[in-house]
Structure 1
Protein backbone atom coordinates (compact mmCIF):
# COMPACT_ATOMS: atom_id res chain seq x y z
CA UNK A 1 0.00 0.00 0.00
CA UNK A 2 1.44 3.36 -1.03
CA UNK A 3 2.12 6.09 1.50
CA UNK A 4 -0.05 8.52 -0.48
CA UNK A 5 -3.01 6.15 -0.17
CA UNK A 6 -2.57 5.91 3.58
CA UNK A 7 -2.25 9.68 3.97
CA UNK A 8 -5.38 10.26 1.89
CA UNK A 9 -7.31 7.78 4.02
CA UNK A 10 -6.01 9.45 7.19
CA UNK A 11 -7.29 12.80 5.90
CA UNK A 12 -10.74 11.33 5.21
CA UNK A 13 -10.80 9.57 8.59
CA UNK A 14 -9.72 12.78 10.34
CA UNK A 15 -12.68 14.64 8.85
CA UNK A 16 -14.98 11.94 10.22
CA UNK A 17 -13.34 11.99 13.66
CA UNK A 18 -13.33 15.75 14.20
CA UNK A 19 -16.86 16.33 12.89
CA UNK A 20 -19.42 16.85 15.69
CA UNK A 21 -21.05 13.59 16.73
CA UNK A 22 -21.92 11.28 19.64
CA UNK A 23 -18.26 10.51 20.45
CA UNK A 24 -17.33 14.12 21.14
CA UNK A 25 -20.41 14.74 23.25
CA UNK A 26 -19.82 11.53 25.19
CA UNK A 27 -16.28 12.65 26.05
CA UNK A 28 -17.58 16.12 26.95
CA UNK A 29 -19.99 14.46 29.39
CA UNK A 30 -17.56 11.94 30.84
CA UNK A 31 -14.61 14.17 31.73
CA UNK A 32 -16.44 16.63 34.01
CA UNK A 33 -18.65 13.94 35.52
CA UNK A 34 -16.25 11.01 35.97
CA UNK A 35 -12.71 12.12 35.13
CA UNK A 36 -9.97 11.36 32.63
CA UNK A 37 -9.65 7.62 33.23
CA UNK A 38 -13.30 7.04 32.37
CA UNK A 39 -12.89 9.17 29.22
CA UNK A 40 -9.84 7.13 28.19
CA UNK A 41 -11.99 4.02 28.66
CA UNK A 42 -14.58 5.62 26.34
CA UNK A 43 -11.85 6.12 23.74
CA UNK A 44 -10.74 2.48 24.07
CA UNK A 45 -14.34 1.51 23.34
CA UNK A 46 -14.35 3.69 20.22
CA UNK A 47 -11.22 1.95 18.92
CA UNK A 48 -12.55 -1.54 19.62
CA UNK A 49 -15.71 -0.69 17.67
CA UNK A 50 -13.63 0.49 14.70
CA UNK A 51 -11.95 -2.91 14.50
CA UNK A 52 -15.36 -4.60 14.61
CA UNK A 53 -16.62 -2.44 11.74
CA UNK A 54 -13.35 -2.87 9.87
CA UNK A 55 -13.56 -6.65 10.18
CA UNK A 56 -17.16 -6.69 8.98
CA UNK A 57 -16.20 -4.53 6.00
CA UNK A 58 -13.10 -6.54 5.09
CA UNK A 59 -15.05 -9.79 5.04
CA UNK A 60 -18.13 -8.33 3.34
CA UNK A 61 -20.61 -8.58 6.22
CA UNK A 62 -21.36 -4.83 6.22
CA UNK A 63 -22.45 -5.05 2.59
CA UNK A 64 -24.98 -7.73 3.48
CA UNK A 65 -26.28 -5.54 6.31
CA UNK A 66 -26.86 -2.50 4.10
CA UNK A 67 -28.36 -4.56 1.25
CA UNK A 68 -30.89 -6.17 3.61
CA UNK A 69 -33.61 -3.63 4.41
CA UNK A 70 -34.85 -5.60 7.44
CA UNK A 71 -31.35 -6.13 8.89
CA UNK A 72 -30.52 -2.47 8.37
CA UNK A 73 -33.75 -1.41 10.07
CA UNK A 74 -33.11 -3.61 13.13
CA UNK A 75 -29.49 -2.47 13.42
CA UNK A 76 -30.45 1.17 12.95
CA UNK A 77 -33.20 1.05 15.58
CA UNK A 78 -30.88 -0.65 18.08
CA UNK A 79 -28.34 2.14 17.61
CA UNK A 80 -31.01 4.83 17.84
CA UNK A 81 -32.49 3.29 20.98
CA UNK A 82 -29.08 3.18 22.64
CA UNK A 83 -28.31 6.83 21.87
CA UNK A 84 -31.75 7.88 23.13
CA UNK A 85 -31.20 5.81 26.29
CA UNK A 86 -27.92 7.66 26.96
CA UNK A 87 -29.84 10.92 26.51
CA UNK A 88 -32.57 9.84 28.90
CA UNK A 89 -30.00 8.82 31.52
CA UNK A 90 -28.31 12.21 31.20
CA UNK A 91 -31.63 14.02 31.64
CA UNK A 92 -32.43 11.90 34.69
CA UNK A 93 -29.03 12.80 36.15
CA UNK A 94 -29.72 16.46 35.45
CA UNK A 95 -33.04 16.22 37.25
CA UNK A 96 -31.41 14.60 40.28
CA UNK A 97 -28.37 16.92 40.22
CA UNK A 98 -28.25 19.14 43.26
CA UNK A 99 -31.26 17.56 44.96
CA UNK A 100 -30.64 17.11 48.69
CA UNK A 101 -30.15 13.60 50.04
CA UNK A 102 -32.36 13.08 53.13
CA UNK A 103 -30.26 13.26 56.29
CA UNK A 104 -27.03 14.02 54.41
CA UNK A 105 -27.33 17.65 53.38
CA UNK A 106 -27.86 19.12 49.92
CA UNK A 107 -24.63 17.94 48.28
CA UNK A 108 -24.64 14.40 46.85
CA UNK A 109 -21.68 12.10 47.25
CA UNK A 110 -19.29 12.23 44.30
CA UNK A 111 -19.83 9.48 41.77
CA UNK A 112 -17.15 7.23 40.32
CA UNK A 113 -17.53 5.57 36.96
CA UNK A 114 -16.72 1.94 36.32
CA UNK A 115 -14.01 1.81 33.65
CA UNK A 116 -15.66 -1.27 32.20
CA UNK A 117 -18.96 0.57 31.97
CA UNK A 118 -17.26 3.57 30.33
CA UNK A 119 -15.53 1.26 27.84
CA UNK A 120 -18.77 -0.40 26.80
CA UNK A 121 -20.55 2.94 26.60
CA UNK A 122 -17.96 4.09 24.06
CA UNK A 123 -17.99 0.73 22.30
CA UNK A 124 -21.76 0.51 21.91
CA UNK A 125 -22.05 4.14 20.86
CA UNK A 126 -19.93 3.25 17.82
CA UNK A 127 -20.61 -0.40 17.11
CA UNK A 128 -24.39 0.24 16.94
CA UNK A 129 -23.98 3.29 14.71
CA UNK A 130 -24.85 2.45 11.06
CA UNK A 131 -23.10 5.66 9.96
CA UNK A 132 -19.76 4.26 11.09
CA UNK A 133 -20.58 1.00 9.36
CA UNK A 134 -21.42 2.83 6.14
CA UNK A 135 -18.16 4.79 6.36
CA UNK A 136 -16.32 1.48 6.33
CA UNK A 137 -18.57 0.24 3.53
CA UNK A 138 -18.36 3.33 1.30
CA UNK A 139 -14.96 4.94 1.97
CA UNK A 140 -12.88 2.05 3.28
CA UNK A 141 -12.93 -0.20 0.16
CA UNK A 142 -11.86 2.70 -2.09
CA UNK A 143 -8.43 2.59 -0.49
CA UNK A 144 -7.95 -1.16 -0.96
CA UNK A 145 -7.26 -3.35 -3.97
CA UNK A 146 -8.64 -6.83 -4.52
CA UNK A 147 -5.22 -8.46 -4.18
CA UNK A 148 -4.50 -6.95 -0.77
CA UNK A 149 -4.39 -9.18 2.28
CA UNK A 150 -6.66 -8.54 5.28
CA UNK A 151 -3.57 -7.58 7.31
CA UNK A 152 -2.89 -4.72 4.92
CA UNK A 153 -6.51 -3.57 5.22
CA UNK A 154 -6.21 -3.58 9.00
CA UNK A 155 -3.42 -1.01 8.63
CA UNK A 156 -6.10 1.44 7.52
CA UNK A 157 -8.29 0.57 10.51
CA UNK A 158 -5.26 1.17 12.74
CA UNK A 159 -4.64 4.53 11.07
CA UNK A 160 -8.26 5.51 11.76
CA UNK A 161 -7.87 4.37 15.37
CA UNK A 162 -4.68 6.41 15.83
CA UNK A 163 -6.32 9.57 14.48
CA UNK A 164 -9.28 8.95 16.81
CA UNK A 165 -7.05 8.43 19.86
CA UNK A 166 -4.94 11.53 19.16
CA UNK A 167 -7.97 13.76 18.69
CA UNK A 168 -9.95 12.60 21.69
CA UNK A 169 -6.96 12.36 24.05
CA UNK A 170 -6.26 16.00 23.15
CA UNK A 171 -9.90 16.79 23.87
CA UNK A 172 -9.72 14.96 27.22
CA UNK A 173 -6.59 16.85 28.25
CA UNK A 174 -8.14 20.20 27.32
CA UNK A 175 -11.32 19.43 29.24
CA UNK A 176 -9.28 18.23 32.22
CA UNK A 177 -7.50 21.58 32.43
CA UNK A 178 -10.80 23.37 32.94
CA UNK A 179 -12.36 20.64 35.07
CA UNK A 180 -12.04 22.77 38.21
CA UNK A 181 -14.33 25.30 36.52
CA UNK A 182 -16.97 22.65 35.82
CA UNK A 183 -17.44 21.13 39.25
CA UNK A 184 -20.40 23.20 40.33
CA UNK A 185 -23.68 21.35 40.62
CA UNK A 186 -25.35 23.99 38.46
CA UNK A 187 -22.89 23.39 35.62
CA UNK A 188 -23.26 19.61 35.87
CA UNK A 189 -27.03 19.96 35.77
CA UNK A 190 -26.80 22.18 32.68
CA UNK A 191 -24.29 19.81 31.04
CA UNK A 192 -26.41 16.71 31.61
CA UNK A 193 -29.49 18.53 30.30
CA UNK A 194 -27.65 19.64 27.16
CA UNK A 195 -26.02 16.24 26.54
CA UNK A 196 -29.34 14.50 27.13
CA UNK A 197 -31.12 16.59 24.51
CA UNK A 198 -28.23 16.16 22.05
CA UNK A 199 -28.14 12.37 22.38
CA UNK A 200 -31.91 12.09 22.04
CA UNK A 201 -31.57 14.24 18.92
CA UNK A 202 -28.82 11.98 17.53
CA UNK A 203 -30.92 8.91 18.26
CA UNK A 204 -34.04 10.36 16.67
CA UNK A 205 -32.09 11.43 13.56
CA UNK A 206 -30.58 7.94 13.29
CA UNK A 207 -33.98 6.29 13.63
CA UNK A 208 -35.26 8.36 10.68
CA UNK A 209 -32.20 7.69 8.53
CA UNK A 210 -32.93 5.72 5.36
CA UNK A 211 -30.81 2.96 3.92
CA UNK A 212 -28.73 3.96 0.93
CA UNK A 213 -29.26 0.56 -0.62
Structure 2
Protein backbone atom coordinates (compact mmCIF):
# COMPACT_ATOMS: atom_id res chain seq x y z
CA UNK A 1 0.00 0.00 0.00
CA UNK A 2 2.84 2.39 0.84
CA UNK A 3 4.38 1.76 -2.58
CA UNK A 4 1.10 2.70 -4.26
CA UNK A 5 0.90 5.94 -2.27
CA UNK A 6 4.52 6.77 -3.09
CA UNK A 7 3.99 5.96 -6.75
CA UNK A 8 0.85 8.11 -6.86
CA UNK A 9 2.74 11.06 -5.40
CA UNK A 10 5.64 10.67 -7.85
CA UNK A 11 3.20 10.30 -10.75
CA UNK A 12 1.33 13.43 -9.67
CA UNK A 13 4.56 15.45 -9.60
CA UNK A 14 5.46 14.09 -13.04
CA UNK A 15 2.08 15.04 -14.49
CA UNK A 16 2.04 18.51 -12.92
CA UNK A 17 5.57 19.41 -14.02
CA UNK A 18 5.88 21.46 -17.25
CA UNK A 19 6.20 19.40 -20.39
CA UNK A 20 4.86 18.63 -23.87
CA UNK A 21 1.53 17.31 -22.56
CA UNK A 22 0.68 20.51 -20.74
CA UNK A 23 1.69 22.61 -23.74
CA UNK A 24 -0.48 20.45 -26.00
CA UNK A 25 -3.56 20.73 -23.79
CA UNK A 26 -3.17 24.50 -23.40
CA UNK A 27 -2.74 24.85 -27.16
CA UNK A 28 -5.75 22.69 -28.00
CA UNK A 29 -8.11 23.93 -25.30
CA UNK A 30 -7.39 27.57 -26.08
CA UNK A 31 -7.77 27.25 -29.84
CA UNK A 32 -10.09 24.32 -30.56
CA UNK A 33 -12.15 24.01 -27.41
CA UNK A 34 -12.66 21.45 -24.70
CA UNK A 35 -14.05 18.70 -26.95
CA UNK A 36 -10.80 18.52 -28.93
CA UNK A 37 -8.86 18.82 -25.67
CA UNK A 38 -10.77 15.87 -24.19
CA UNK A 39 -9.80 13.86 -27.28
CA UNK A 40 -6.17 14.85 -26.64
CA UNK A 41 -6.54 13.58 -23.08
CA UNK A 42 -7.98 10.28 -24.29
CA UNK A 43 -4.87 9.90 -26.45
CA UNK A 44 -2.62 10.65 -23.47
CA UNK A 45 -4.52 8.07 -21.43
CA UNK A 46 -4.13 5.32 -24.03
CA UNK A 47 -0.45 6.06 -24.69
CA UNK A 48 0.29 5.80 -20.97
CA UNK A 49 -0.74 2.15 -21.08
CA UNK A 50 1.58 1.65 -24.06
CA UNK A 51 4.47 3.02 -21.98
CA UNK A 52 3.44 0.77 -19.11
CA UNK A 53 3.25 -2.32 -21.31
CA UNK A 54 6.69 -1.63 -22.81
CA UNK A 55 8.18 -1.39 -19.32
CA UNK A 56 6.30 -4.33 -17.81
CA UNK A 57 7.22 -6.71 -20.60
CA UNK A 58 10.86 -5.59 -20.64
CA UNK A 59 10.87 -3.89 -24.03
CA UNK A 60 11.97 -0.56 -22.54
CA UNK A 61 15.14 -2.21 -21.22
CA UNK A 62 15.90 -3.51 -24.71
CA UNK A 63 15.53 0.01 -26.10
CA UNK A 64 17.93 1.38 -23.49
CA UNK A 65 20.54 -1.24 -24.38
CA UNK A 66 20.48 -0.33 -28.08
CA UNK A 67 22.05 3.09 -28.65
CA UNK A 68 20.95 3.14 -32.29
CA UNK A 69 17.33 2.29 -31.49
CA UNK A 70 17.22 4.77 -28.63
CA UNK A 71 18.59 7.53 -30.90
CA UNK A 72 16.03 6.69 -33.59
CA UNK A 73 13.20 6.93 -31.07
CA UNK A 74 14.57 10.27 -29.84
CA UNK A 75 14.81 11.57 -33.40
CA UNK A 76 11.22 10.60 -34.21
CA UNK A 77 9.98 12.07 -30.94
CA UNK A 78 11.87 15.34 -31.43
CA UNK A 79 10.59 15.68 -34.99
CA UNK A 80 7.00 15.14 -33.91
CA UNK A 81 7.18 17.59 -31.00
CA UNK A 82 8.74 20.17 -33.31
CA UNK A 83 5.95 19.61 -35.84
CA UNK A 84 3.20 20.10 -33.25
CA UNK A 85 4.92 23.21 -31.86
CA UNK A 86 5.52 24.74 -35.29
CA UNK A 87 1.91 24.06 -36.28
CA UNK A 88 0.64 25.85 -33.17
CA UNK A 89 2.77 28.92 -33.91
CA UNK A 90 1.83 28.89 -37.60
CA UNK A 91 -1.90 28.74 -36.92
CA UNK A 92 -1.62 31.50 -34.32
CA UNK A 93 -0.65 33.88 -37.11
CA UNK A 94 -3.16 32.44 -39.55
CA UNK A 95 -6.07 32.45 -37.12
CA UNK A 96 -5.44 35.98 -35.92
CA UNK A 97 -4.65 37.55 -39.27
CA UNK A 98 -7.93 39.48 -39.15
CA UNK A 99 -8.48 42.42 -36.83
CA UNK A 100 -8.58 41.62 -33.12
CA UNK A 101 -12.10 42.97 -32.72
CA UNK A 102 -13.42 40.78 -35.51
CA UNK A 103 -11.68 37.70 -34.09
CA UNK A 104 -12.94 38.47 -30.58
CA UNK A 105 -16.50 38.33 -31.90
CA UNK A 106 -15.90 35.14 -33.86
CA UNK A 107 -14.13 33.30 -31.04
CA UNK A 108 -16.49 34.51 -28.33
CA UNK A 109 -19.76 33.74 -30.08
CA UNK A 110 -18.97 30.81 -32.38
CA UNK A 111 -17.49 27.41 -31.53
CA UNK A 112 -14.32 26.49 -33.34
CA UNK A 113 -15.02 24.31 -36.38
CA UNK A 114 -13.12 21.09 -36.67
CA UNK A 115 -10.11 21.11 -38.88
CA UNK A 116 -8.58 18.05 -40.50
CA UNK A 117 -6.68 17.38 -37.28
CA UNK A 118 -9.06 19.26 -35.02
CA UNK A 119 -11.70 16.89 -33.86
CA UNK A 120 -12.17 13.31 -32.83
CA UNK A 121 -9.53 10.99 -34.15
CA UNK A 122 -7.10 13.75 -35.16
CA UNK A 123 -6.96 15.22 -31.66
CA UNK A 124 -6.83 11.77 -30.08
CA UNK A 125 -3.87 10.85 -32.31
CA UNK A 126 -2.12 14.10 -31.44
CA UNK A 127 -2.46 13.35 -27.74
CA UNK A 128 -1.43 9.72 -28.22
CA UNK A 129 1.80 10.47 -30.08
CA UNK A 130 2.71 13.42 -27.86
CA UNK A 131 2.53 11.15 -24.81
CA UNK A 132 4.13 8.18 -26.52
CA UNK A 133 7.10 10.31 -27.60
CA UNK A 134 7.21 12.40 -24.42
CA UNK A 135 10.81 12.28 -23.10
CA UNK A 136 9.74 12.74 -19.46
CA UNK A 137 7.34 9.81 -19.58
CA UNK A 138 9.73 7.61 -21.56
CA UNK A 139 12.50 8.03 -19.00
CA UNK A 140 10.07 7.54 -16.12
CA UNK A 141 8.95 4.15 -17.43
CA UNK A 142 12.44 3.11 -18.48
CA UNK A 143 14.23 4.04 -15.25
CA UNK A 144 11.86 4.84 -12.36
CA UNK A 145 8.83 2.64 -12.92
CA UNK A 146 10.68 -0.70 -12.53
CA UNK A 147 11.74 0.39 -9.03
CA UNK A 148 8.11 0.29 -7.91
CA UNK A 149 7.71 -3.28 -9.11
CA UNK A 150 9.98 -4.68 -6.39
CA UNK A 151 13.10 -6.79 -6.59
CA UNK A 152 11.17 -9.89 -7.59
CA UNK A 153 8.95 -7.94 -9.94
CA UNK A 154 5.28 -7.27 -9.45
CA UNK A 155 2.54 -9.33 -11.00
CA UNK A 156 1.17 -8.03 -14.27
CA UNK A 157 -2.06 -7.09 -12.51
CA UNK A 158 -0.27 -5.05 -9.84
CA UNK A 159 1.94 -3.35 -12.41
CA UNK A 160 -1.02 -2.36 -14.55
CA UNK A 161 -2.79 -1.01 -11.46
CA UNK A 162 0.13 1.41 -11.10
CA UNK A 163 -0.16 2.36 -14.76
CA UNK A 164 -3.91 2.88 -14.33
CA UNK A 165 -3.23 5.20 -11.39
CA UNK A 166 -0.81 7.22 -13.50
CA UNK A 167 -3.24 7.40 -16.43
CA UNK A 168 -6.09 8.44 -14.13
CA UNK A 169 -3.99 11.23 -12.62
CA UNK A 170 -3.19 12.42 -16.14
CA UNK A 171 -6.89 12.46 -17.06
CA UNK A 172 -7.97 14.24 -13.87
CA UNK A 173 -5.23 16.89 -14.05
CA UNK A 174 -5.67 17.78 -17.71
CA UNK A 175 -9.47 17.70 -17.58
CA UNK A 176 -9.22 20.22 -14.74
CA UNK A 177 -6.81 22.33 -16.80
CA UNK A 178 -9.14 22.17 -19.80
CA UNK A 179 -12.15 23.28 -17.78
CA UNK A 180 -10.13 26.13 -16.25
CA UNK A 181 -9.10 27.34 -19.71
CA UNK A 182 -12.70 27.03 -20.89
CA UNK A 183 -13.81 29.33 -18.06
CA UNK A 184 -11.07 31.85 -18.88
CA UNK A 185 -12.13 31.79 -22.54
CA UNK A 186 -15.52 33.20 -21.57
CA UNK A 187 -13.81 36.52 -20.95
CA UNK A 188 -14.31 38.88 -23.85
CA UNK A 189 -10.62 39.72 -24.27
CA UNK A 190 -9.39 36.12 -24.48
CA UNK A 191 -9.21 36.09 -28.30
CA UNK A 192 -6.55 38.81 -28.17
CA UNK A 193 -4.55 36.80 -25.62
CA UNK A 194 -5.15 33.54 -27.46
CA UNK A 195 -2.57 34.14 -30.16
CA UNK A 196 0.14 34.51 -27.51
CA UNK A 197 -1.05 31.39 -25.71
CA UNK A 198 -0.66 29.52 -29.00
CA UNK A 199 2.81 30.92 -29.66
CA UNK A 200 4.09 30.27 -26.15
CA UNK A 201 2.72 26.71 -26.04
CA UNK A 202 4.16 26.05 -29.50
CA UNK A 203 7.54 27.40 -28.39
CA UNK A 204 7.45 25.09 -25.36
CA UNK A 205 6.85 22.10 -27.65
CA UNK A 206 9.79 23.12 -29.84
CA UNK A 207 11.95 23.58 -26.72
CA UNK A 208 11.19 20.04 -25.57
CA UNK A 209 11.95 18.70 -29.05
CA UNK A 210 15.44 20.16 -28.72
CA UNK A 211 15.72 18.90 -25.15
CA UNK A 212 14.84 15.41 -26.34
CA UNK A 213 17.60 15.45 -28.95
CA UNK A 214 20.21 16.35 -26.33
CA UNK A 215 18.97 13.72 -23.88
CA UNK A 216 21.49 10.99 -23.14
CA UNK A 217 20.78 7.40 -22.21
Q: Secondary structure at the match of 1:139?
A: helix
* Equivalent residue for 1:139, pick from 136, 141, 144: 144
Q: Secondary structure at the match of 1:16?
A: helix
Q: Does residue 158 in structure 1 map to residue 164 in structure 2?
A: yes
Tell me the distance in 1 between the aligned counterparts of 2:165 and 2:136.
19
Q: Does residue 62 in structure 1 map to residue 60 in structure 2?
A: yes
1:33: which partner in 2? 31
* Residue 76 (structure 1) shift: 0.4
Deviation string 1:95-134 (CA, Å, 9 cap, x unpaired) is: 212325xxxxx75894322121111111100112243122
* Residue 185 (structure 1) shift: 4.3
Change (3 A) 1:23 1:147: closer
Tell me the distance in 1 between the aligned counterparts of 2:135 and 2:26.
22
Q: Does residue 168 in structure 1 map to residue 181 in structure 2?
A: no
Any stretches of 5+ residues in structure 1 without a counterpart? 101-105
Under a length normalisation based on structure 2, what TM-score does the superposition of the two structures give?
A: 0.87
Equivalent positions of 1:79-98 (< 5 A) are 79-98=77-96
* Residue 75 (structure 1) shift: 0.1
Single out whichever of 24-33 and 189-198 deviates more from structure 2.
Answer: 189-198
Any stretches of 5+ residues in structure 2 without a counterpart? none
Q: Does residue 209 in structure 1 map to residue 212 in structure 2?
A: no
1:129: which partner in 2? 134
* Residue 147 (structure 1) shift: 5.2
Single out whichever of 91-100 and 202-211 deviates more from structure 2.
Answer: 91-100
Aligned residues: 205
Tell me the distance in 2 between the aligned counterparts of 1:52 and 1:18.
20
Equivalent positions of 1:78-117 (< 5 A) are 78-100=76-98, 110-112=112-114, 113-117=118-122
* Residue 19 (structure 1) shift: 0.5
Tell me the distance in 1 between the aligned counterparts of 2:97 and 2:170.
37
